[in-house]
Structure formats: C-alpha cells, structure tokens
Structure 1
C-alpha cells in the first residue's frame, strides 16, 4: 500500500511513463504533419467531447468498483485483526490456569494461520513460515490439502473441542469467534478468485487508447503547436485513471498498491505474543520507499 505523501514528478512519470511517452510522440507527429501543410486533418470537436465524456464515466464506474473490492478486502482484514485479539483473549480467559501449554499452542497456531492465509491469498508457498510454528506431522498432512489455512483452522477447532474443561457455553463463544475467521477468509477468497468481468478489463483499455489516439486530431486545429502539451496532459489523466483501476481491482496480488498483508499479519503476531507475555524481537513492518507491504 502506497503511503500518502508528497508526489514527485519521477513517480508520476514512472506510473504511466511508457504509454505517456508514446502518446506524446504521436501528438508531435500529428502536429507536425498538420502544420506542415502537406496534409490537412479536420476532426469535429463535438464527437471528441462525447467520446471523452463517455470514457471518463466508464473509467470512473470501473474504478469505483475496483476500489470497492480493495476496501472490502481491507475491511475483512480489519475484522480478522480484531477477532484474532478476541480469540487470544478468550483462550486466556476460558481455559484453566493449568492449561498454559495449550493456551500458548493455540495462540501460536493462530499466528501460523494468519501467515498461511496471507501466503494463500498471494499464491505463495507457506512452508517456510509454517516450518517453525507447526509440527512435522502436521506439515506433512498440510502438504496434501488444497486449502492450508482452512486445514489449520479446522485442526485448531478439533483441539479446542477435545479440551474437557470447556463446557458448552465456552465452546459456543470460541466457535463464534472461529466462525468469524471462516467468514473473513471466505470473503477474501471470493475477492481473490472472482476477477472483474472481462468487459471491465478489456473495454476501458480499448476506448481509453482510442480516445488518446484521436485526441490530437481534435485539438490540433485549435491549439496548433501547443497540441502535444494539451493532448499529453489530457491523455495523462485518462491513462492514470486506467492504471489506477488496474492496480486496485486485485488487492491480493502482492504489488505496491495492494492491501498491506505483511504489515497486518506482523501486527497480529506482535499483539498475540504480547498477550502471552513472551519476549520477542518482532517490530512493526517499516515503510520502504513510500510503500507499506
């Protein structure tokens, strides 16, 4: 996730640099050909205005949908953070004092769960993170399942259900919290596995590029030699809107525009270890070049 701050020209050029450079080169060619007098191109201004308005509405609608996906993903992770703290507190309060080892094991298992969920959403292998947190037998079993975080959560539920000191009331309280974990994970997987319709992906690209190609043809008669400047500025706005939508629609693709899963999982781990009163050297994830991962 990019941290808000001062925007530099180098960042802007890097964001849409290549298509913007191609647009500027096309603007220069159209302007030079038109003003040289060898070939006159007249393009009515009204159709260009209509096309620009339609493309802007289309991009705005697509970007609003993409941002809604990003915000839902962040909301689901916020729920997971809160429920993780509640789960650790419930384990500490509901289990008897002589079950200290079980309390610690369940909390550390939940740390393993959130890390496996982060890697599951990013389509990365979780074994390095889980190797130091789970037994070899369980790791061997997890290598055979399709959904590693769900298997870890199910195993945790089995361990809680076998604890004789927990009556039905306490079990219901813990099960309610674990259901919230499943609901949050299901929502995240829905976002990950359900991309935007192809029309949202292909049509904005085609019409935005078509508008940028036609733009200097509609401006050159009025702006003359200033056409490359005016056309490039307007084209930048449309190209930036197109790029923003592309970046926001996949919040778990492990890019700089995604939900900061590494930061959130580290925060959960620190909170849970602090709740166990264990000494650790973990620190919150730091910002790297204006990005929080």
Structure 2
C-alpha cells in the first residue's frame, strides 16, 4: 500500500512511463506528418472526440469505483480478521482453564494468519510455518489444498477436546465462524476477477482514444500538439493504471492491502497477550510503501 503523501514526479512517471512515452512519440509523428506532408485527412472533428473522451472517462471512473470497492472490502475483511484473532486469544486465555491448551490455540492462530497471507498471495507457506507448527503437522499439511483452512479446522478440534462448558464452547464457536467467514470473503475476492468487460475493454478504449487524440488536436494546437495530447492522455492512462492496480488486492504488489503489516500486527498482539518476550516490531514502510 502506497502511503499518502509519498508520491513524487519520478514515481508518477514510472507509473505510466512506457505508455506515456509511446503516446508522446505518436503525438510527434502526427504533428510532423501534419506539417510536412499534405494530410488534410488527418483532421478529426472535435465534437465526436470530446464525446468519446467523456464516454471513456465515465467508463474508467465506473470501473475504478468497482475496483476500489473490491480493495476496500478486502481491507475490511482483514480488519475483521484482526478483531476476531484478538477475540479468539482473549476467549482462549480466559475461558479455557488449561493454560497450555489456551496458549496453543493462540499460537495456532498466529500460524493461521500467516498461512492465510501466503495462501492469498499464492506463495508457499512452509518457511513461515516451520517455526510455528510441529514438523509432523507441517508434513500432513503438504497434501492439503487449503492450508489455512486445515489449520483452522484443527484449532477447532483442539478447542473441542478441551471439553468446555457448552455455553462457553458456543461463544468460541461464533468467533471461529467469524474467522471462517472472513477467509471465505477474501478467497471470493481472490478467485473472482473482474468481468472481462471491466478488465480488458477499458484498456482497448483508453489506448484507442489516446491514438485518436493528437489527430483531433493537431489542427487547433499545431506544434503544441505533443504537449497538449500527452498531458490529456496522461490523465486517462493514470486512471486506467489505477484501476488495474487495485482490482486485485492480494497480488503482493505495492498497491495491495498490506497483508504483511496486518499479520505482523496480529502476531504482536497475540504474543503480547501470552506475556511472551519477543523482538517483533510493526512493519515499517519501505520507500513509502507498506507491504
């Protein structure tokens, strides 16, 4: 996640540098052709171009709103996961009389959130789990398709084995259900991409409009066409790239939900609740980006 106030000109240019450079070269070609080669056919009526630009802008805005809704839902679900993890730790430590069993439940939740982070990013979890689960359990998890869910189910089995009062067990079961529901929502976002109409067509329409832009402007702007067309095209290219970046919030990219930061925060909170001494610190931004 890029932190607010950290954007600068160099970052912005890198953000859309390649398509913007191609657009500028095309603007120069159109301008040169207009001035040095008889090409009256290059004239493009201003009104249709303005209407096309308005339609593309509305389309991009609607697509970006949809993409941001996915990003924000992903962040909301992880907020729910943070709260549910704290609640599970509190309930385990206060409702389960066997201190060792309660501590095991809390530590397993730490392993669970790290496994979920790596599951959503399609990364192998074994290095992170090796310090948090037994070797036997890790080996048994290697044949499982959904590692975090398997860890969660086994945690529930550990709780059931503690033979709690049914009322207390029901309270913890509600928290376990909240965790499962949050994971299901995250997997829905991960496994359900935006429809093809939102994923591909904006790129086609935006690039097509940028190709027509200098043709429509060259007659009125003349030699300043590369400047005017590039500036106008820059706005459309940025809108396109923003939607592309935030539509999939679990890709381990700089615009994603900061899963590493959130799971580290959960681990710190849960280990503090156990009274353990640790050297963990909150994740710090790297070059203005929180991972």
In the alignment of these two chains, the number of paired residues is 290
- CA distance in 2 between counterparts of 1:66 and 1:53 reads 20
Give the equivalent residue in structure 1 for 2:185.
187
Is residue 55 of structure 1 aligned with residue 69 of structure 2? no
Give the TM-score normalised by structure 1.
0.98
Alignment of 1:116-195 (within 5 A): 116-164=115-163, 166-195=164-193
Provide the C-alpha distance between the structure 2 equivalents of 1:203 and 1:157, rounded to a whole number of angstroms: 45
Aligned match of 1:199 in 197, 201, 205?
197
SS in 2 for 1:30: helix
Equivalents in 2 of 1:282, 1:113: separation in Å? 18
Q: CA deviation at 1:197?
A: 0.8
Which residue does 1:4 correspond to in 2? 4
Structure 1 unaligned spans of 5+: none
Contact 2:6–2:288 (CA under 8 A) maintained in structure 1? no
Q: Partners in 2 of 1:185 and 1:195 — Cα distance? A: 17
- Report the equivalent of 1:286: 284
Aligned to 1:106: 105
What is aligned with 1:268?
A: 266
Q: Which 10-residue stretch deviates more, 119-128 or 28-37? A: 28-37
Bigger mean CA offset, 242-251 vs 35-44:
35-44
- After the TM superposition, which residues 206-245 of structure 1 pair with which residues of structure 2 at under 5 Å, given as runs? 206-245=204-243
Question: Deviation above 3 Å: which 4+ runs of structure 1?
Answer: none
Q: Secondary structure at the match of 2:254?
A: coil
5+ residue gaps, structure 2: none
The residue aligned with 2:90 is: 89
Once superposed, what is the RMSD of the aligned Cα atoms?
A: 0.8
Question: CA separation in 2, counterparts of 1:6 and 1:268?
Answer: 26
